[in-house]
Amino acid sequence: MTAPRILVLGAHPDDADLKAGGTASKWRRLGYEVKLVSVTDGGAGHQTHHGPDLTRRRRDEAQAAGAVIGAAYDVLDHPDGALLPTLEARGKLIRLIRGFHPDLILTHRPNDYHPDHRYTSVLVQDAAYMITVPAVCPDAPHLEANPVILYFSDDFRKPAPFTPDVIVDIGDELSRMMDMLHCHASQFYEWLPYNGGYAADVPVDAAARRSWLEERIRRRLRPLADRWRSQLLSTYGEDHGRRIEYVEAFEASEYGAALDAAVRARLFPFVPTATQVVEERAGPEWPDVRVDD
């Protein structure tokens, strides 16, 4: 059986690795094919630099981030801040999905503060069935079936809160994820601090910057494990589940293929199955006994 193919679709350069970088790193260590994509060109994400110079810089940053884990990182040419779910944009996404032939697509949920995030999600939803229709974009061979589609986690509660179907312990990949995010200097050390009003806090030295950013990301991620602690205990077992500090979580979309037990085990082999957890719990109480004892 061939290794699964994973397509991570973020709206902007840095969205894919910020929301799924730890899990992407796990997949790459297993030899899975991973493609990270920014649906927009990132050309509006800076306080002083805009247009072609910024898009080139952000494309270079994205490619450097992908190289950290040995994954391709593509940046499409839809204008940052102006993405719309047009037929043209849908066709481009259909061709991209068909060309990569993923087993799994990860993307934003359709309810989100940023229109580019929302419309990236809508475009994935609109492409989902159409990728199987031969008469749609006939220049790109159609897929026989939809891939699984999962949403990134978020904190938005209306019209419905995020409900995780898969939670991944990324503690062992946090360093590589940080190496990826550190590549996006224009965002994490310039634009986001400016936009958030904390630019004066950013260190000048590169090593100090990375340490500063890592602490910010750790503070951002820590509450998620506690938020879903009961599910972590159920999934990973009591001992491991209580030790988990950093996670990425994903919610299944009804627009994609079913995430049944067999598919889940193939796509997320590093997340224990219910049987494994039962065996882990039973181990200390019911040690192996030889029949000739």
Residue 290 in any domain: the answer is no
pTM, 2 dp: 0.92
> What percentage of the chain exceeds 90 in pLDDT?
91
- What are residue 158's DSSP bridge partners? none
Q: Which of 29-33, 137-141, 267-271, 273-277 has the lowest mean pLDDT?
A: 273-277
- Give 33-62 pLDDT, tens digit per residue: 999 999 999 999 999 999 899 999 999 999
Q: What is the pLDDT of residue 43?
A: 97
Comparing C-alpha atoms, which of 105, 17, 91 is closest to residue 58?
17
Residue 293 in any domain: the answer is no
**Domain span at residue 240?**
5-280
Residue 112 in any domain: the answer is yes
Residue 71 in any domain: the answer is yes
Residue 286 in any domain: the answer is no
CATH classification at residue 183: 3.40.50.10320
Q: What does the pLDDT average to over 252-279? A: 86
Q: What does the pLDDT average to over 21-26? A: 98
Measured between its terminal Cα atoms, the distance across the chain in Å is: 41
Q: What is the pLDDT of residue 274?
A: 58
- Give 157-180 pLDDT, tens digit per residue: 999 999 999 999 999 999 999 999
Q: Quick check: 286 pLDDT over 50?
A: no
Residue 288 in any domain: the answer is no
How many Cα atoms occupy the beta-carbon half-sphere of 73 within 13 Å?
A: 29
The number of folded domains in the chain is: 1
What is the Cα–Cα distance from 79 to 89, expressed in whole angstroms? 11
Residue 171 in any domain: the answer is yes
Q: What is the pLDDT of residue 289?
A: 30
Q: What is the pLDDT of residue 276?
A: 53
Residue 33 in any domain: the answer is yes
